[in-house]
Amino acid sequence: MAAHFGVESVVFVPGVDAPRDRGAHQWRGGRRLEWVDGDYDDAVRRAGGVRRRAARVERLVQDTAWDGYEQVPAWIVDGYQTLLDEVDAQLGGPPDLVARPGRCRGHWPRRWCGHYRAPGGARPAVLAVEPDTAACLLTSLTAGRRTTVPNGGRR
């Protein structure tokens, strides 16, 4: 979107979560990658801190919300619902199986679980795969509430 609108963009990448060579081919076209020493949560804190300190930063785009930063994450979550509605519409109903990576954090897992587990709705089989170093979804489902787990990094 930054390239489309002709503005500078900085992408904060958690160093523990992503191999550096992957970013080299995914982020062409003048976008700047800033590698953060740490995990996803560290990258989110870094991006939020830069936004609060730099008057020239106009928009932070990511789905983790905090006090004072709720509108953009709400729009992103609305977009997740749109994706699910479009899948159902194109298939003529809900799928028989929903497979997704369990490592995605935040609202995306909550949105698809809520969509395909709504009372009275269709209940397709759901398959989630996540690494044992960041089993956020399994831990949360077992606890019956959203639970943060430490990120052990790549294995």
Ordered by start, the domain boundaries in the chain are 2-53, 71-143
Q: Which whole-number Å values give the CA distances from 5 to 8, 130, 135, 142, in the listed order?
A: 9, 35, 37, 43
> With 70 as the cut, is the pLDDT of residue 138 above it?
yes
H and E: helices and strands count for the chain: 6, 4
**pTM of the predicted structure, to 2 decimals:** 0.61
Cβ contacts of 1-10, under 8 Å, gap ≥ 24 = 1/61, 2/31, 3/29, 3/30, 3/31, 7/58, 8/32, 10/34, 10/47, 10/50
Confidence of residue 27 (pLDDT cuts 50, 70, 90): low
Least confident range of 26-30, 43-47, 100-104, 106-110: 26-30
